[in-house]
Amino acid sequence: MIHITGGYVIEPKTRFEGYCDILIQDEKIAAMAERGTPLSELGVTRPEEVEHIDAAGQIIAPGLVDVHVHFRDPGFTYKEDIESGAAAAAKGGFTSVVLMANTKPSVDNPETLSYVLEKGKTTGIHIHTCANVTVGMKGRELVDMEGLSRSGAAGFTDDGVPILSEAVLREALQRAAKLHKPVSLHEEDPAYITNNGIHAGKAAEHFGIGGSKREAEIRMVERDIRIALEEGADLSVQHISTKEAVELVRQAKKKSAHIWAEAAPHHFTLTEEAAVAHGTLAKMNPPLREEADRMAVIKGLQDGTIDMIATDHAPHSAEEKAKPLTEAPSGIIGLETALSLGIRELVMPDYLTVMELMEKMSLAPARLYRLDAGYLAVGGPADLVIFDKDARWRVEKDGFASKAANSPFIGEEMPGVIHYTICGGKVAYRAE
């Protein structure tokens, strides 16, 4: 048993916030009681067996849920593996993650799916994974969506590669709708990209390359929303980066509750100026764009156009990121800085309340993937994060639990110190 006392609870499902003591027993929340309630009144007969956590001055919230992470396992475990990725997630306050399927072999078959899920069970957090939409992520032949769904796939995605065939996407959405599974899409049309990872604007001009035009995202989002609306399927626009795409989603959501969108912390924090300053450490797909785009993403989070925050945690080795800009892979790690960036960039400037941030980082992503997560209730899962939103920490290159350190935020001071991550009633991370 774990008894958490003195903390301020933020519960996004019921919108409750206030001081509350929490008793955890057998992977569930056994009680949520008025602050200072004696253990004897909570039915505890052997108080010596209870671990006590003093959360005074801290926030207790549902464990965070990230529905867009890359753990590189199988195939690229020198970058990250399921164990190190889970450790990074727990350190960042996440108790549930959904893995992307662009591994090697890719998750287009039951064997690889089973490998990921079975390995995930040993980590101390909840590991879910998408399966691919198409075989080998080649965009031509659909996977056995029904069989992979039965085997435990949380949803379907070819993240990293757009699905260019309208016919293939339409059939995938038709089948996913029958399975009640979301399809999450990487929205970049290569016809508008000369060199990926860098916005075709000031950043591309600075480096003397072609870059990625904003039309690459706009055209794909426009097409894919149209098809999803016609088929009534749950479609998630991944890592949205342009003001035009935000507006397309905003209008689509007026017509259907099946259209979802996610924003990555780097897209509401940074602009292409960061790519100029940090080079490959700020190279990502889709790229960092202009200040008007960053503010449009924030506005989308404010008004509900963008449902959730997802990190797109994308670890790479130092050797890979040290390559020339046009050769280095795109992506940054994000699990261990996400909550702090949400506090710094969204809560502190009064764009979102802490309650709204917790909804974007726990309840909403859990709803898309139909996970039993993102809320606190008696009888519900004992998945919690305990953090001090005002305390400060510094991002250090050698301080990550991830195998990788490809982050443009190294050296920065951040608000939001995570003291505990509790998953399934057990401590998955405890601050030193």
CB-based contact 183:157 (threshold 8 Å): yes
Distances (CA, A) of 206 to 191, 279, 328, 407: 22, 11, 17, 21
Give the DSSP letter string of 42-77. Answer: GT-S-GGGPEEEE-TT-EEEEPEEEEEE---TTT-T
Which has the closest alpha carbon to 273: 218, 338, 323, 205?
205
- Out of 312, 350, 372, 390, the active site residue is 312
Facing residues of 97 across strands?
Answer: 66, 127
Length of the chain counted residue by residue: 432
Which has the closest alpha carbon to 127: 387, 427, 419, 369?
369
* 178 CB-near residues (< 8 Å, 6+ apart): none
Distance from C-alpha of 216 to C-alpha of 77, rounded to nearest angstrom: 30
Query: What does residue 75 show for φ and ψ, rounded to 5 degrees?
Result: 105, -35
Handedness of CA 412, 416, 417, 423 (dihedral sign): negative
Distance from C-alpha of 97 to C-alpha of 93, rounded to nearest angstrom: 11
Instruction: Verify whether residue 312 is a known catalytic residue.
Output: yes
Neighbours of 398 (CB within 10 A): 6
Distance from C-alpha of 117 to C-alpha of 142, rounded to nearest angstrom: 21
* 41 CB-near residues (< 8 Å, 6+ apart): 33
Distances (CA, A) of 310 to 114, 256, 260, 261, 313: 24, 22, 12, 10, 8
Which has the closest alpha carbon to 17: 426, 353, 316, 278?
353
Which has the closest alpha carbon to 134: 157, 116, 151, 114?
157
* 134 CB-near residues (< 8 Å, 6+ apart): 108, 140, 141, 142, 143, 158, 163, 168, 172
CB-based contact 236:368 (threshold 8 Å): yes
Active site residues: 312
